[in-house]
């Protein structure tokens, strides 16, 4: 399942806006730092019509004072975005925010990072180019098979187009560790919302320079594709940290003008694409900011920024640890292995995905499915997903037969946790499949118009199967059951 790992900040989320005004943060230190040298640049005057990796002519503007030479770094995997020089006033303002973030977050800058101010249209073009390059039609189709078989979206949902539009609508800025550049959307100028965004995104710069996001934390596309649960934990740490840093900057350094401009921005913002998103995606999109902030705040309460820095040397490995900070770092996922079921199903079947669902997505399946009538209330879904110990799931596909199958084997912390999940899934499935479960021994079954589903429950283990027919489900259960 493709989770979305761009380092971004979403200004429209009301919970984050409330956090800027309400969350308790450390007081600023009294030490005064000099302005930080930064290689600040701006985009060409017109939006690029070619992919971002293709250089375009830069607009002519007065140069700013050159920064110190950048230390030798790993070669970027894509070409940096071509930009032009910012004016001196904006350079000075950015330097000041950087020094304030360094002082507040207590991480030092290792080298200057280019800052790229973009219009919304320019950012959209970059997002479209990057997304179309990184996310093929085939990958999107596989994700639709996966998300639809677990009930999170309808099978005919155009995920690829929707995500391009959603990301370009919601992104207020992002730091790209592949090219070590920071992108900030510029509206009417570098005002309150842009300044808040910059404080958040510059925290990502400091994280990357001190802990190496892509390699030190193994937070990159390849690694995250095969271990989405671990990467969701890392992303929540990274974004929760940046959000707490942003809140600290706002409360300690923002001006009254910043405050009013931010309030005006939030009050005037319209987000029709986000508002129309599938229910699970709305929650998943903000998970690293909201739940990540709660996790990081809990760590900060124990020992300040020093305690947060220590987490980067032993980052969270599951969404369970994010949702329950008291379980970090001791409660690690139980390893669960499923066999090569595609081979057992025979010719034409392929393995689309082998991954971990985790507590968070288990909750989303129960509470945020595409069928609103089948959704459990939050308390019931949270209770059913809590106690997750570890899992592995497979999505299997027979393209010739136009058939998809799914199996998830979960080991729970206790037999009570397994029983609670089984009862919740039965309630959910009875409504989703529009037929009440039949029971034979340790297995519940739903034989419905479009397919067949079963749930095995014994001791601390559950195995949930969704298949096109009972024969396919029986073959899968023969391979997956203990």
The CA distance from 144 to 167, in Å, is 18
**Predicted local confidence at residue 3, as pLDDT:** 62
Give me the pLDDT at residue 119, please. 81
Same domain, 417 and 377: yes
Which structural domain, as residue segments, surrounds residue 280?
Answer: 8-327
pLDDT per position as a tens digit, 188-238: 678 999 899 899 999 999 999 999 999 999 999 899 999 999 999 999 999
Measure the CA–CA gap between 337 and 477, rounded to whole angstroms.
Answer: 14
Task: Say if 147 falls within a structural domain.
Answer: yes
pLDDT for the residue numbered 128: 77
Could you say which residues of the chain have pLDDT below 50? 5-18, 22-76, 84
Asked whether residue 112 falls in the same domain as residue 170, the answer is yes
Tokens of 128: 């479209």
Whether 316 and 380 map to the same domain: the answer is no
289 and 437 inside one domain: no
Is residue 396 packed enough to be buried (19+ CB in 10 Å), middle (13-18) or exposed (0-12)? buried
Instruction: Determine phi and psi for 125, rounding to 5 degrees.
Output: -65, -40
Residue 134 confidence (pLDDT): 86
Last residue of one domain, picked from the residues 327, 358, 391: 327
Q: Are 291 and 370 found together in one domain?
A: no
308-341 pLDDT per residue, tens: 999 999 999 999 999 999 999 999 999 999 999 9
pLDDT of residue 466: 98
pTM here?
Answer: 0.86
User: What pLDDT, on a 0 to 100 scale, did the predictor assign at position 138?
Assistant: 94
Give 35's contacts (C-beta < 8 A, 6+ positions apart): 92, 95, 96, 98, 99
Q: Of all residues in the chain, what percent carry a pLDDT higher than 90?
A: 67
Counting Cα atoms < 13 Å in the Cβ hemisphere of 263 gives 8
Q: Which token pair is 457?
A: 């429950």
Domain co-membership, 308 together with 357 = no
Q: pLDDT at position 33, please?
A: 31
Our count of domains for the chain comes to 2
């Amino acid at each position: 399942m493709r989770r979305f790992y761009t380092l971004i900040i979403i200004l429209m989320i009301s919970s984050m806006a409330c956090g800027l005004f309400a969350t308790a943060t450390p007081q600023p230190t009294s030490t005064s730092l000099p302005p930080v040298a930064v290689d600040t640049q701006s985009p060409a005057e017109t939006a690029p019509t070619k992919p971002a990796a293709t250089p375009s002519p830069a607009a002519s503007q007065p140069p700013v004072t050159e920064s110190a030479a950048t230390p030798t770094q790993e070669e970027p995997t894509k070409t940096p975005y071509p930009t032009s020089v910012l004016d001196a006033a904006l350079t000075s303002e950015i330097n000041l925010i950087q020094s304030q973030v360094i002082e507040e977050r207590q991480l030092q800058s290792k080298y200057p990072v280019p800052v790229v101010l973009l219009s919304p249209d320019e950012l959209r073009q970059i997002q479209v180019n990057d997304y179309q390059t990184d996310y093929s039609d085939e990958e999107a189709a596989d994700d639709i098979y996966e998300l639809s078989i677990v009930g999170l979206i309808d099978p005919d949902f155009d995920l690829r187009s929707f995500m391009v539009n959603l990301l370009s609508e919601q992104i207020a800025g992002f730091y790209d560790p592949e090219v070590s550049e920071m992108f900030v959307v510029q509206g009417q100028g570098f005002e309150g919302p842009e300044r808040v965004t910059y404080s958040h995104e510059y925290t990502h710069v400091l994280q990357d320079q001190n802990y190496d996001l892509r390699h030190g934390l193994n937070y990159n596309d390849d690694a995250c594709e095969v271990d989405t649960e671990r990467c969701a934990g890392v992303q929540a740490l990274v974004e929760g940290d940046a959000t707490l840093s942003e809140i600290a900057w706002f409360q300690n350094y923002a001006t009254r003008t910043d405050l009013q401009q931010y309030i005006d921005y939030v009050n005037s913002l319209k987000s029709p694409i986000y508002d129309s998103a599938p229910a699970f995606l709305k929650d998943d999109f903000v998970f690293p900011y909201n739940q990540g902030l709660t996790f990081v705040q809990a760590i900060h309460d124990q020992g300040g920024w020093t305690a947060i820095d220590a987490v980067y040397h032993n980052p969270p490995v599951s969404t369970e640890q994010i949702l329950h900070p008291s379980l970090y770092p001791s409660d690690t996922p139980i390893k669960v292995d499923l066999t090569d079921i595609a081979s057992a199903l025979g010719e034409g079947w392929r393995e689309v995905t082998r991954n971990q669902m985790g507590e968070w997505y288990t909750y989303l399946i129960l509470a945020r499915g595409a069928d609103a009538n089948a959704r459990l209330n939050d308390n019931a879904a949270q209770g059913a997903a809590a106690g997750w110990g570890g899992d592995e799931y497979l999505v299997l596909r027979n393209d010739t037969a136009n058939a998809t199958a799914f199996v998830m084997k979960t080991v729970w912390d206790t037999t009570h946790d397994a029983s609670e999940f089984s009862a919740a899934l039965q309630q959910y499935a009875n409504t989703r499949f529009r037929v009440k479960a039949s029971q034979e021994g340790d297995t519940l079954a739903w034989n419905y118009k479009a397919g067949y589903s079963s749930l095995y429950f014994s001791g601390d283990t559950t195995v949930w199967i969704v298949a096109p027919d009972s024969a396919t489900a029986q073959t899968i259960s023969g391979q997956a059951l203990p």
